[in-house]
A and B are shown apart, each in its own frame.
Chain A
């Protein structure tokens, strides 16, 4: 049930960053200092809470312990293999979702009959938490990459589909009519007018879908034992290796941040020419 609000929100949240360039150099320095200082303060707080025993070190290993654990991991082959497996599951899931969702979204967005025919099934399938499919996948596809990719692709499919449908639907009808009046054929209109118009929406969908794909790739590993960081977390959890648990969580968190930053950059690039990116004055 994505309404216009969701889509508009997704487009406008990128906007504030554009203004940063005009600020004074001193102001920028101050921003950097507060930004870094805030991270440092929270890391220090973590260290203190653990070392002082406010939360015992067996439940919350100190920040320094956790980071040195992660550092040790980063010198092992096994860690990078697992890391690569998670990235592979994420990338394949996102790719499969994109290949399916964008063409279907364009079709449903341009064809009113098809959109109405599949409205109810989409409304019903979309809110189903993909996690509910884990037992079925576990029993049928087993602990394989296929299960992981299926789950990641299933989750990532919906935001991309909805964004593409809205994007195609939202293309300026005047532009399409003008193109028609100039005698552009159906496919040329699709290629030159509809698709470029929908690109900003698709880019936003891609950013949302990439987060979902990572969550579900990791979830598949955690719950089904598909090789990857999720399976490592599961092992650490069953052996009660709390320090490992925290180190892996940090690694997954950094991976998530990296993917989010990369996809936001892609989105900004795709939106560069879009009216929401132009300064008003």
Chain B
């Protein structure tokens, strides 16, 4: 096969296979007549009726707010703690056991505790719970990123008399940013998961709440519509982050292209 024909076939596959899978899903649900697996077409109609946009403000907006607020707090805290820890060996030695413990514990194990401790099942508990667990990937990547900076760079800046605040803003942050962004991407995906889990555990609004209520009342259409929405949310947030990263770290791509490895 010529290279041209090959790439045509690949493009064809890339378009045909997902469509084929969706058709197979529809065919299977039509054939199975299962009470738990409504037809794909039914799910899509339900999706449009619920999320575009009659219940969007009531349930999707609160969930999005919690994700973005929790994620935002995690970014600020993670970077603010990660930079000093990246420079201090003893700080790292002291902080590591705590970071490793909180990173290893399954977040849902702390859900009931967070409710007891914060006396809340509302936004205070949701946002702080999301923020708490999203800190760790960002924190660890910031530490790694700062440690990876060429010490000559910082010594040079210091010998030129550039002050600490300016050094951090102009040298440390940009140099560590690609790695910090890698941590932020992991945290954003984590934020969606934790949002769903914490709303499913206890809440009065949000996508996870819809999931729970429709399961409890055996409304399969809304339940599947919520599952699809969660998938779409996860995908779109990831995509938005990838685009933002591409834009803000464009200089890094260019730099990597001329300095490979």
Taking the complex as formed, is A242 at the interface, i.e. its CB lies under 8 A from any CB of chain B? Answer: yes
Q: Is the CB of B104 within 8 A of A9?
A: no
- By a CB distance below 8 angstroms, the chain B residues around A257 are 100-101, 104-105
Q: Which of A39, A42, A123, A219 has the most C-beta atoms of chain B within 10 angstroms of its own C-beta?
A: A219
Q: Is the CB of B185 within 8 A of A215?
A: no
Q: Is the CB of A215 within 8 A of B117?
A: no
Binary flags per residue of B198-222, CB closer than 8 Å to A gives 1, else 0: 0011000000000110110000000
In whole angstroms, how far apart are the Cα atoms of A245 and B221 in the complex?
35
Determine how close the nearest CB of chain B comes to the CB of A13; give it in whole angstroms: 6
Nearest opposing residue in chain B for A15, CB measure: B144
Q: Which of B10-18, B45-53, B164-172 contacts A (4 or more CB under 8 A)?
A: B10-18
- By a CB distance below 8 angstroms, the chain A residues around B11 are 116
Taking the complex as formed, is B106 at the interface, i.e. its CB lies under 8 A from any CB of chain A? Answer: yes
Taking the complex as formed, is A190 at the interface, i.e. its CB lies under 8 A from any CB of chain B? Answer: no
Taking the complex as formed, is B112 at the interface, i.e. its CB lies under 8 A from any CB of chain A? Answer: yes
Binary flags per residue of A8-38, CB closer than 8 Å to B gives 1, else 0: 0100110010000000000000010011011
Task: Classify chain A: how many residues form its interface, as a range.
Answer: 35 or more
Q: Is the CB of A127 within 8 A of B105?
A: no
Q: Nearest 3 A-B pairs (CB), nearest first?
A: A256-B104, A135-B215, A127-B234
Q: Is the CB of A42 within 8 A of B98?
A: yes
CB within 8 Å of A: which B72-122 residues: 90, 93-98, 100-101, 103-113, 115-117, 119
Q: Is the CB of A35 within 8 A of B100?
A: no
Given contacts A1-B238, A245-B116, are A215 and B107 in contact (CB under 8 A)?
Answer: yes
Besides A13-B144, A120-B18, A139-B36, 20 new A-B residue pairs in contact (Cβ under 8 A), listed by A number: A35-B96, A37-B94, A38-B97, A38-B98, A42-B98, A55-B117, A116-B11, A117-B14, A120-B14, A127-B234, A127-B237, A129-B234, A135-B211, A135-B212, A218-B109, A219-B106, A233-B112, A248-B109, A253-B101, A260-B104
Q: Is the CB of A12 within 8 A of B13?
A: no
Q: Is the CB of A256 within 8 A of B215?
A: no
Q: Is the CB of B17 within 8 A of A113?
A: no
We find that the number of chain B residues with CB closer than 8 angstroms to chain A is 66
Give which listed residue, B94, B186, B193, B197, contacts A34 with CB less than 8 A.
B94
Taking the complex as formed, is A121 at the interface, i.e. its CB lies under 8 A from any CB of chain B? Answer: yes
In whole angstroms, how far apart are the Cα atoms of A130 and B82 in the complex?
29
Binary flags per residue of A246-281, CB closer than 8 Å to B gives 1, else 0: 101100110011011000000000000000000000
List A residues at the B interface (Cβ < 8 Å).
Answer: 1, 3, 5-6, 9, 12-13, 16, 31, 34-35, 37-39, 42, 55, 59-60, 112-113, 116-121, 123-125, 127-136, 138-140, 211, 214-215, 218-219, 222-223, 229-230, 233-234, 236-237, 242, 245-246, 248-249, 252-253, 256-257, 259-260
Nearest opposing residue in chain A for B189, CB measure: A127
- By a CB distance below 8 angstroms, the chain A residues around B181 are 5
Q: Is the CB of A127 within 8 A of B235?
A: yes
Determine how close the nearest CB of chain A comes to the CB of B261; give it in whole angstroms: 11
- By a CB distance below 8 angstroms, the chain A residues around B234 are 127-129
Given contacts A59-B116, A233-B112, A245-B116, are A31 and B93 in contact (CB under 8 A)?
Answer: yes
Nearest opposing residue in chain B for A257, CB measure: B104
Q: Which of A131, A223, A242 has the most C-beta atoms of chain B within 10 angstroms of its own C-beta?
A: A131
Q: Is the CB of A245 within 8 A of B14?
A: no
Q: Which of B123-131, B150-158, B225-233 contacts A (4 or more CB under 8 A)?
A: B225-233
Q: Which of B13, B97, B106, B115 has the most C-beta atoms of chain A within 10 angstroms of its own C-beta?
A: B106
Pull 24 A–B residue pairs with CB atoms less than 8 Å apart, ordered by A. A1-B238, A5-B179, A5-B182, A6-B185, A12-B144, A35-B93, A35-B94, A59-B117, A120-B17, A120-B18, A127-B237, A128-B231, A130-B193, A131-B200, A132-B196, A132-B227, A135-B227, A136-B227, A218-B108, A219-B106, A237-B115, A249-B109, A253-B105, A260-B104
Given contacts A38-B98, A116-B13, are A233 and B109 in contact (CB under 8 A)?
Answer: yes
- By a CB distance below 8 angstroms, the chain A residues around B97 are 35, 38-39
Q: Is the CB of A60 within 8 A of B105?
A: no
Q: Is the CB of A129 within 8 A of B192?
A: yes
Nearest opposing residue in chain A for B144, CB measure: A13
Taking the complex as formed, is B223 at the interface, i.e. its CB lies under 8 A from any CB of chain A? Answer: yes
Taking the complex as formed, is B178 at the interface, i.e. its CB lies under 8 A from any CB of chain A? Answer: yes
